Amino acid sequence: MTSTASFWLVKSEPNTYAFADLQRDGRTVWDGVRNNVAALHLKAMKRGDQVLFYHSQIGLEVVGIAAVTREAFLDPSDTAGRFVAVELETVRALPRPVSLAEMKAAPALAEMAMLRLSRLSVSPVRPAEWSKILAMAGDAGG
């Protein structure tokens, strides 16, 4: 069977919700996104899509992999009913984190959406970028 999963990257401040929290919880509702472009990406996520988990503000590195377990639904934290959330589950921590500096220094990642639009909290990752980052992390699964 051919895989049709897509790849994404989400940012979270570890002070607020770290990858370790996702590992503890198993699954979590990814809500609170209040940016239209990010919301479009959330709406495009399909069950089974793979997601890089990035720590913003503190750490500044990709630390783990999550997967989409529930496709976009109205964000329960948005009383205006305008934005959506998805549900994510933990997959695995990376053998070693990949820092923002490393990603910036990698020519293969020069066009990554998260590097070009630094404030975007949910962004697409191309298959080649996904493979590159997992290779940089020493993760054989990419």
The residue whose two tokens read 């630390």 is 63
SS3 130: helix
The amino acid present at 138, given as its one-letter code, is: G
Residue 120 within binding range of DNA, rule CB under 7 A: yes
Given candidates 5, 29, 37, 91, which one binds DNA under the rule CB under 7 A? 37
The amino acid present at 47, given as its one-letter code, is: R
d(CA 84, CA 116): 24
Part in contact with DNA (CB under 7 A); list of ranges 40-48, 67-75, 99-107, 131-139: 99-107
The residue whose two tokens read 């919700």 is 17
Residue 35 within binding range of DNA, rule CB under 7 A: yes
Q: C-beta of 71: minimal distance to DNA in Å?
A: 22
User: What is the binding site for DNA (CB under 7 A)?
Assistant: 11, 13, 34-37, 56-57, 60, 100-101, 104, 117-121
